[in-house]
Amino acid sequence: MREGSTVFPPPPGLRQATRRARCRFIDSNSPSASEKQAALARVLSVIVLLSCIAGFGLAQNTNSGDIRGIVTDATGAVIPGATVTILNVNTGVAKSLITNQAGLYDAVSILPGRYRLTFSKGVSRSLCAMV
- Encode pLDDT of 63-120 as tens digits: 788 899 999 888 989 999 999 999 999 999 999 999 999 999 999 888 888 999 988 8
78 bridge partner residues: 72
d(CA 89, CA 112): 11
DSSP state of 63: S
pTM of the full structure: 0.51
| C-beta atoms surrounding 31 within 10 Å | 10
| C-beta atoms surrounding 82 within 10 Å | 21
Domain borders along the chain are 12-59, 65-130
Report the CATH fold assignment for 65-130: Immunoglobulin-like (2.60.40)
38 in helix, strand or coil? helix
